[in-house]
Structure 1
Amino acid sequence: MGSPSDEELARRVRDGETALFEVLMRRHNPKVYRAVRALVSNEAEVEDVMQQAYVLAFTHLSQFEGHSRFSTWLIRIAVNEALMCLRKRNRLVTLDEGSDKEAEGDMKLEGRNTADPERRAYDRELVRFLESAIEALPPPHKVVLMLREVEGLSTAETAEVLSVNEELVRKRLHRARAFLRDELDARMGGQLHEAFCFQAPRCDRVVAAVMTRLTSS
């Protein structure tokens, strides 16, 4: 028999097998990390947001009714927590239609000003170069690229996660691709999925912190 589905694991966690929530976290840590990292740059804050998102998901697991994939439901919680983190620091990022015009201008400026000597040292490594180019994107475009191209969510799922319409997702993905094409040219290739890899030690740290919070509450 194959591994149990997310939905089966979620049902069993709701029924009292709380230890299985660790399986769900480990299964989706890379997706959650990349979604949060698209909006929050500080790595310590990223892990804090991830932990809070998992705690909220566990607490509200009864609200997951299976109308969408579990990963879509979970990533939406994580994105909302990331936005909340930015609001607390008075760095509001909007993901609706109204932010597009301003973000387009930011893309042209930010993409040309973020390359410092330390970053240039990694330009020989394709994955590092990809991360640098993605980092230059405005958050509304970066999060769409992360969800669609890096994590493979559909247009509909991405729109659901971000609470925007599908046409806006398509438009932002087109702009993000065009920007990366200019920056990376042919080097983008098939290595995009390796960008912002969530390594095992960080996975262990986040999982342990969440499980401690859940068992002590």
Structure 2
Amino acid sequence: MASGRQAVHDVATLSDSDLHGLALQRDEGAIRALTRRYNQRLYRVAWGILKNSADCEEAVQDAYVKAFTTSAAFDGHASYATWLTRIVINEALERRRAAERRVRLLERQGITEMAEYRARLADAPISHGSPEEIAARAEFAHRLQGAVARLPEAYRTVFVLRDVEGVSVEETASALGVPVQIVKTRLFRARRRLREILEPELRAALQEAFPFGGQRCAALTERVLARLTQHSALPP
């Protein structure tokens, strides 16, 4: 019998189709391998529609449940990634429609105040570079996420698939069920709109760009002092 470590290695090298077959048999290793491969993409696609972390996670979870049961058969006509993406898009759209129905119901009942969703796409860990560089990248990521959230849904979903996840034009079109030219047009308009949103903010941010403070500043000061001390010790 192969060791657990060897089994994990074997599962990790299998194709999506082979892993899917094992996942249908509730093979834990196969399920873990597939979720590791696609969690980030599916979460981002869901966020492009829902813009709420908790709802996105639930939509992705529900999509996996459908994918790993016979209720959503993978026929191999599209790539596995495209097939999973379609399931998540449908789950996210259904959740949004359900939320809209709840809002309309509450409005009919005279309830006008709703709890506002404030969760935003979680930043990937940013751990390389100086503290100032890390802070600058985090600030830009925050500004970009806010700008993407302001895009119309049709543009936002295409932007996430193409520019964030790097999905091809053809695969994006297949996942969304639209012609390739529509994908290209929406991406062009999304990028143009993002430039319009971000340009004023980035222009203001440039006033504080290229900072030199904190540990870098302190370290430079110490080096200067050390050099001066060495210089003073030299004979005239």
| TM-score of the alignment, normalized to the shorter chain, above 0.5 | yes
Q: 1:45 aligns with which of 47, 55, 58?
A: 55
Match of 1:145 in 2: 159
State the distance in 2 between where 1:25 and 1:142 align: 23
- Work out the number of aligned pairs and report it: 158
Higher relative contact order (CA 8 A, sep 6+): 1
Shift of 1:2: 7.5
Match of 1:175 in 2: 189
Q: 1:42 to 1:15 in 2, by over 3 A?
A: closer
More moved, 54-63 vs 23-32: 54-63
TM-score (norm 2): 0.60
Give yes or no for contact 1:122–1:128 (8 Å, CA) kept in 2: no
Structure 1: unaligned runs, 5 residues or longer: 92-120, 189-217
Q: 1:124 to 1:55 in 2, by over 3 A?
A: closer
Q: 1:62 to 1:50 in 2, by over 3 A?
A: closer
TM-score (norm 1): 0.65
Match of 2:177 in 1: 163
Shift of 1:162: 1.1
Shift of 1:181: 2.2
Structure 2: unaligned runs, 5 residues or longer: 1-10, 102-134, 203-236
More moved, 47-56 vs 121-130: 121-130
User: Any residues of structure 2 matched to 1:99-110 within 5 Å, and which?
Assistant: none
How much is the aligned-residue C-alpha RMSD, in angstroms? 2.8
User: Alpha-carbon deviations, 1:111-155, whole Å to 9, x = none?
Assistant: xxxxxxxxxx99972211111111110111000000111111111
State the distance in 2 between where 1:11 and 1:123 align: 41
State the distance in 1 between where 2:60 and 2:71 align: 16
Give yes or no for contact 2:38–2:81 (8 Å, CA) kept in 1: yes
Give aligned-pair identity as a percent: 38
User: Any residues of structure 2 matched to 1:1-217 within 5 Å, and which?
Assistant: 3-14=13-24, 17-60=27-70, 63-90=73-100, 125-185=139-199
User: Alpha-carbon deviations, 1:146-200, whole Å to 9, x = none?
Assistant: 0111111111111111111211111111100111222335x99xxxxxxxxxxxx
State the distance in 2 between where 1:33 and 1:166 align: 23
Structure of larger gyration radius: 2
